[in-house]
Amino acid sequence: MKFSLSWLREHLDFTASVEDICARLNGIGLEVEGVDDPSERVVGFRTAKILEAHRHPDADRLQVCRVAGGAGSENVQVVCGAPNARAGLHVIFAPPGTYVPGSGITIKAGQIRGQDSGGMLCSLRELGLGEESDGIAELPDTAPIGIPYAQFAKLDDPVVEISITPNRGDALSIRGIARDLAAAGMGHLKPWLTEAVEGDFPSPLAWKTEHPGCPYIVGRVIRGVKNGPSPDWLRRRLESVGVKPISALVDVTNYLTYDLGRPLHVFDVKKLNGSTLTVTQAARETFRALDGKDYVLGTDDMVIVDDAGVQSLAGLIGGEASGVDDDTTDVFVESALFDAVRIALTGRRLAIHTDARQRFERGIDPALVLNGLEAATSMILDLCGGEAGEITEAGNLPDWKRTATLRFERLETLGGVSMTPDDAVLSLEHLGFAVIERDEDRAVFAVPSWRNDVARGNALAQAASLDEGRAAVASRHVDQIEAECDLIEEVLRLYGLDSVPPVSLPLSTMISAPALSPLQSRNGLLRRICAARGLMETVGFSFVAHEDALLFGDVPESQRLLNPIATDLDQLRPTPLINLARALSRNLARGLGVNGDGALFEVGPSFDATGQHLRLAGLRGGLTAREPGQPSREPTLWDAKADLMAAILALGVPEASLSVTADAPGFYHPGRSGLVRQGPKVALGSFGELHPGIVKALGLNGTVVAFEVYLDAVPLPKNKRRTAPALSSLQPVRRDFAFLAGPDVQVQAVLKAARMADRNLIQDVRLFDVFEGASLPEGHRSIGIEVVLQPQDESLTDARLDAVSKAVEAAVLKATGATLRR
């Protein structure tokens, strides 16, 4: 919101400087974004008069001028090349030392072709105030001589720009800003009254409102007007706030939009069809607006129509078909109340940004509907002549009157400011709040019509179609909490926001709450683990092609999409491996597949008949990068198992509780895959080579290995403080065992049995060798394991080591039937 100081003086009687005005605006919550003082750009330029002008003796295109008023009482000689320089002309003079913004130079005294020149005669372009010209600027003959040009051209009028919060629609007017400044002690608010204009003839047009978004609308015809350019004072005021003057009729509506915050619109009566204008909802049609653009309207948009169709997009922009022009003689002025939410939604959808929209969607003064029309009528009659008809209206003005209660002790308990009740009441009265009732502890105020933000919920609750009991409860709640907070805010604003003591919010604990949830932290950990293992993260759609989903198992019809975003994305994916496989296929087709291009992973959802599940999926294909002493190779199922185990162990699952079974899902290679379980029932993940048939169907070559972690089956870590591990000061002891096992003995059974032989002493058991050969009985193999013994209190003796060795041998024999190789 912009305003000039001269415009502000129309409503506020003050003597403060622009610096003081800006400081006070910041203090009351109307933040100043900038100040533009046009006079600063023309510092040094003065009005002057050419007394004599004659041709330069050595240059035909130059003239030697004697100029009065340029510097003190003495006349100055200036060499000028403008063709219109002549004696008697009033001009703009730049003495030496003046910076010329249009040319980017600083004037210096000197000689031109042997003649002294003590300055420069300027055009408006050189001052940065106009377009290219063929000569110097010509001022009126009545222009005084020797005064600053900024003073003569009335450029010494700073323009202040402030930012407006969405709740302060009243501050989107010069009068609203003046009211706040007057209440803050920066001057006296001038009274504003507009006299009603009596209608000289019955209105030839009538209003009709059929839309709930327009509860009240008024208008009147003014005939016999003469449209044309606005007077200079009106043009300057509009230009100062960034509004381009168009014509007197349009400029009046723009002026009142900024002056009073009352958007208006004018129709050319002769371009309207029929005798009734109706506010209704739009059909699916195209509307050409005053900005020359065509807008496709929908049934949620509110429009004003005549017998020919849409003539205005209500509250946003008028129509080109009924717009006024220089030939307009009869005009119909509209003033209305429009629903803020409907205006905002239509404006956002159609990307229409107008001053009217900005004010309607923040709330306008309902009491100004009629007064704004009267003010517009008076200005149009003054500027354009004509005679006014009777006012026509439709609907009813909503009951905007509401109250708000302030408990004085809340100023200190909630606002942190100690203030006497009289001072608090006086502050609110300066803002237009009227005291209805008061006692020692509280005061009840009538909220002024222009403050839509104060106790707004009260008015909504009273207007809503609620039963009597619910409306009463809602009204009391808003009065006691929201409305009271609004009043406290107003008192604090005028007291000075910078004077309110800062108070930190109370802390329940000195330890900050975690920024991430346990699930977010866990997923982040898995991403780091996979990235450290050389896998590249991808993010895929939750939708895949139905044919691809069939390759990976059962596809329930309930997971088909009736309205897919693409024909090849019509199925909720049963596993993220589908997306990874397709991405790998594209990478390999482009000649990639090394240095991470052939190793991908994703943390994302999968879907089956029971619902949605979260999974970590990874895929490896192509060839590894060549390294010294290590040739390129295809990935193996052991790579996939290592990826899977690294992820599961990082989630805090004890390795000793894990086992591997051969019942992996059917899309894996049978015999080259496995299922990792915790205990006999809980499946935590799967790994292995993808089935050759699936690899071929997806257009892949070579070996492709994959893994999945079923994250829903892994419990989230509990927020318990970890205790320090009990580290022994004694060295661990390692012993190797080789067991001769039959064809049915599983390695993990041997490891588990050895680990259980002495749980207090045995710290870890690892497989280090599996041997099958002619020296062993047919069908048998040798399983080599390493047992790590960690003493806690004393060093192990030979007798103790022998006892543990025999316990391991006996435990494995009992559990698996495997015997120690001698």
Q: Which of 144, 372, 135 is nearest to 265 (CA)?
A: 372
Question: Taking phi first (over 0 means left), then psi (-120 to 50 degrees means alpha), and beta for anything else, what does residue 128 get?
Answer: left
Cα Dmax for the chain: 130
Check: CB of residue 403 under 8 Å from CB of residue 445. Answer: yes
Neighbours of 353 (CB within 10 A): 11
CA atoms within 13 A on the CB side of 79: 18
Q: What are phi and psi of 540, to 5 degrees?
A: -115, 165
Burial of 262: CB neighbours in 10 Å, binned 0-12, 13-18, 19+: buried
Q: How far apart are CA 586 and CA 424, in angstroms?
A: 72
CA atoms within 13 A on the CB side of 460: 12
Residue 312's DSSP bridge partners are 304, 318
Q: How far apart are CA 11 and CA 192, in angstroms?
A: 8
399 labelled ligand-binding: no
Burial of 640: CB neighbours in 10 Å, binned 0-12, 13-18, 19+: buried
Tokens of 792: 């806690």
3-state secondary structure of 434: strand
Q: CA angle, corner 155, sides to 153 and 161, nearest 5?
A: 155
3-state secondary structure of 515: coil
Tokens of 172: 């989107």
Q: What are phi and psi of 155, to 5 degrees?
A: -95, -5
Place of tokens 């006299």: 195
Tokens of 105: 């130079």
Q: What are phi and psi of 705, to 5 degrees?
A: -115, 155
Check: CB of residue 432 under 8 Å from CB of residue 448. Answer: yes
Strand pairing class (12-13; 188-189): antiparallel
CA atoms within 13 A on the CB side of 92: 24
Check: CB of residue 93 under 8 Å from CB of residue 103. Answer: no
Strand pairing class (90-94; 120-122): antiparallel
What residues have CB less than 8 Å from 302, skipping those under 6 apart? 211, 213, 214, 279, 280, 281, 282, 313, 314, 315, 338, 339, 342, 343, 346
Neighbours of 498 (CB within 10 A): 8
Q: How far apart are CA 104 and CA 127, in angstroms?
A: 10
Strands (E), 408-554: 434-438, 442-446, 536-537, 543-544
Neighbours of 749 (CB within 10 A): 18
Tokens of 576: 């993220």
Q: Hey, what amino acid is at 571?
A: Q
387 labelled ligand-binding: no
453 labelled ligand-binding: yes
Q: How far apart are CA 618 and CA 581, in angstroms?
A: 9
Tokens of 214: 């327009």
Strand pairing class (276-281; 206-209): parallel
132 labelled ligand-binding: no
Q: How far apart are CA 229 and CA 251, in angstroms?
A: 9
Burial of 502: CB neighbours in 10 Å, binned 0-12, 13-18, 19+: exposed
Per the annotation, binding residues are 453, 486, 489-490
Per the annotation, binding residues for Mg(2+) are 453, 486, 489-490
